[in-house]
Amino acid sequence: LEEKLLQSQKMEAIGQLAGGVAHDFNNILMVIMGYGSMLRNDPSLASENREQVERIMEAADKAAQLTAGLLTFSRKQVIKTQTVDLNEVIRRVEKFLSRIIGEDVQLKSQLPEHPLPVEMDSNQIEQVLVNLATNARDAMPRGGLLTVTTSLQRIDQGFVDANDAGSPGPYAVVSISDTGLGMDEATRRRIFEPFFTTKELGKGTGLGMSIVYGIVTQHGGFINVYSEPGLGTTFKIYLPLSPSAFEAAEALRELEHPR
Ligand code: ADP
């Protein structure tokens, strides 16, 4: 338990630092991009300089994506939430996920009949699924299986799992499993840190999982990771069930008194 506390304090500190830097850096970028686009739109700009301005804008754009990722990690991004069925979000992105993982990886999804209403920013939850699928693909260079399932789970006071736990209550859970390379303990402990990557230079930014972390925690949720080197990895994302939705009550009744 003490280690978990230390871990979450560490993430909090990294988040503060990253968020502060990203925020200030973003303001500087806005100046660069503002003057850049003025130059770009200037009809008197010599054609031989046009290419150079485009390069500057491209680089600034990349930098802006980076800072956006850091801001998401540090929960400095505003989110707009609505009650949405988690299963519906998964159905919506399934085709896209298949495209990400490619032909050598098979996608299998298993979603329950009843809806799982969650107060969420569905664009951000889609982003979570996309980032996880991208990593799964990279972990299965020789093909494999990606399994996506959802369920309803009650977290009790005494709930202690692999590496994290939220406050007690009902949660919608999405579990994403790959049959890939897996990770060792030392890697698993660091995957949510921004810029942590085990991929070769230029392949990974190390921001994917920190974005996942930022989005899930901003939704009041938490993540558990189970991984076995050589066997594969399972991410379990817990999102609080919408307290206001009628469907939530229905789904809960189903959980407690299965027909
Ligand atoms: P990136 O993908 O750019 O490396 P991420 O933050 O998305 O950055 O991931 C960080 C690291 O976590 C990866 O480099 C990899 O070592 C590990 N990782 C994430 N997902 C998986 C997975 N499904 N299987 C094995 N390792 C993973």
Q: What is the pLDDT of residue 253?
A: 79
Pairing of strands 144-155, 82-85: unpaired
40-78: pLDDT as tens digits = 999 999 999 999 999 999 999 999 999 999 999 998 878
Q: What is the pLDDT of residue 162?
A: 41
SS3 assignment, position 150: strand
Tell how far the Cα of 120 is from the centroid of ligand 1, in angstroms.
24
Q: How far apart are CA 179 and CA 255, in angstroms?
A: 29
Q: Between the CA of residue 57 and those of 78, 143, 148, what are the distances in Å? A: 25, 37, 38
Q: How far apart are CA 88 and CA 237, in angstroms?
A: 16
**Going by CA atoms, what residue is nearest to atom 19 of ligand 1?**
135
Tell how far the Cα of 247 is from the centroid of ligand 1, in angstroms.
35
75-126: pLDDT as tens digits = 887 889 999 999 999 999 999 999 999 999 999 999 999 999 999 999 999 9
194 CB under 6 A from ligand 1? no
Q: How far apart are CA 153 and CA 193, in angstroms?
A: 27
Identify whether the C-beta of residue 74 lies closer than 8 Å to the C-beta of residue 11. no
178 CB under 6 A from ligand 1? yes
Tell how far the Cα of 135 is from the centroid of ligand 1, in angstroms.
5
Q: Which ligand 1 atom lies nearest to the CA of residue 206?
A: 8
DSSP letter at 193 equals S
Q: Does the pLDDT of residue 163 top 50, yes or no?
A: no
Q: How far apart are CA 182 and CA 52, in angstroms?
A: 43
Q: Between the CA of residue 122 and those of 56, 87, 161, 174, 229, what are the distances in Å? A: 33, 11, 26, 14, 32
- Is the ipTM of this structure higher than 0.85? yes
SS3 assignment, position 78: coil
183-214: pLDDT as tens digits = 999 999 999 999 999 998 888 889 999 999 99
Q: How far apart are CA 102 and CA 89, in angstroms?
A: 20
187 CB under 6 A from ligand 1? yes
Residues 86/181/155/118 CA torsion (nearest 10 deg): -10
Identity (one letter) of the amino acid at 67? T
3-state helix, strand, coil in the chain (%, to 5): 50, 20, 30
Q: pTM of this prediction?
A: 0.90
CB atoms near residue 203 (< 10 Å): 9
Q: How far apart are CA 221 and CA 192, in angstroms?
A: 15
136 CB under 6 A from ligand 1? yes
Q: Which ligand 1 atom lies nearest to the CA of residue 205?
A: 3
Tell how far the Cα of 46 is from the centroid of ligand 1, in angstroms.
44
| Token pair listed for 158 | 């005494």
Phi, psi of 132 (to 5 degrees): -65, -40
231 CB under 6 A from ligand 1? no
Q: How long is the chain?
A: 259
Q: Which ligand 1 atom lies nearest to the CA of residue 196?
A: 10
DSSP letter at 240 equals E
Q: What is the pLDDT of residue 159?
A: 56
